[in-house]
């Protein structure tokens, strides 16, 4: 069985890290950068196109709520199109403007304020979804998965892709459903390898990547 730390080295850890986003930084703007990425990753589009589009936003310095509003709908569509996000450009531009408007109005543009206002993990998820129409389970799960161990209330369910990979690699027994016990078991596998509990999200991200690889391989047969 491949060691968890070795899986992270071979597959990569947090997606945010690959985008040079420091989720543990004191600057809450880093969390907003990741929310933008999670929104881009959350649609039915390739990881490559979503990543390229995020870099277009970064290159133009449009990585904060007020900057999004100042750029406007037409400007956001142009950035999305430049990144190859053409299929969802209009809808995503509208979504981003709604999210930024709500975030500025209700939480002074600060996602850490939103987290502090949440009563518990489920309320946190509800507040994120309430930021704008189209922020659903998938986007929230992607966003919170990488904040596990950083935000105390970030406790999303284990990704089904991570579950499939964990079973395939022998970290856990085959089980059709994701349970809290499944997540706890994987966290134990990670820390038993001598890794910091706060970095479990890196292991989970590596498992998601392996799960995606397995899904692509299966679709070819």
Q: Is residue 152 part of a domain?
A: no
Task: Report the predicted TM-score, pTM, of the whole model to 2 decimal places.
Answer: 0.94
Q: Is residue 184 part of a domain?
A: yes
Domain shared by 113 and 169, yes or no? no
Instruction: Answer for the pair 87, 111: CB distance below 8 angstroms, yes or no.
Output: no
Residue 39: phi and psi, rounded to 5, are -65, -40
How far is Cα of residue 68 from the mean position of the Cα atoms in its chain?
19
pLDDT in tens, 155-213: 999 999 999 999 999 999 876 566 778 999 999 999 999 999 999 999 999 999 999 99
Question: How many residues does the structure list for the chain?
Answer: 221
Domain shared by 31 and 73, yes or no? yes
Task: Answer with the one of 85, 114, 145 that is the final residue of a domain.
Answer: 145
pLDDT in tens, 129-138: 999 998 999 9
Q: How many other β-carbons are positioned within 10 Å of the β-carbon of residue 147?
A: 25
pLDDT in tens, 51-92: 999 999 999 999 999 999 999 999 999 999 999 998 889 999
Domain shared by 135 and 207, yes or no? no
Q: Name which of 98, 99, 194 is nearest 143 in CA terms.
A: 99
* Domain CATH for 106: 1.10.340.30
Sort 140 into a burial class: Cβ within 10 Å, 0-12 / 13-18 / 19+.
Answer: buried
């Amino acid at each position: 069985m491949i060691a968890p730390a070795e899986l992270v080295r071979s597959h990569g850890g947090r997606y945010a890290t690959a985008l040079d986003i420091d989720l543990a930084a004191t600057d809450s703007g880093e969390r907003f950068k990741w929310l933008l990425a999670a929104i881009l990753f959350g649609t039915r589009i390739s990881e490559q196109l979503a990543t390229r589009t995020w870099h277009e936003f970064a290159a133009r310095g449009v990585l904060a709520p007020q900057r999004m509003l100042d750029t406007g709908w037409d400007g956001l569509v142009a950035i999305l199109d430049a990144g190859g996000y053409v299929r969802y450009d209009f809808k995503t531009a509208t979504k981003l403007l709604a999210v930024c408007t709500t975030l500025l109005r209700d939480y002074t543009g600060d996602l850490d304020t939103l987290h502090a206002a949440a009563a518990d993990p489920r309320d946190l998820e509800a507040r994120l979804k309430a930021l704008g129409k189209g922020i659903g389970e998938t986007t929230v799960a992607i966003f919170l998965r990488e904040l596990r161990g950083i935000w105390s209330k970030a406790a999303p369910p284990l990704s089904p892709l991570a579950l499939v990979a964990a079973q395939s690699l022998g970290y856990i027994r085959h089980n059709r459903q994701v349970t809290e016990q499944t997540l706890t078991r994987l966290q134990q596998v990670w820390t038993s390898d001598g890794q910091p509990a706060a970095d479990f999200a890196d292991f989970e991200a590596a498992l998601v990547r392996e799960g995606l690889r397995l899904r692509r391989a299966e679709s070819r047969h």
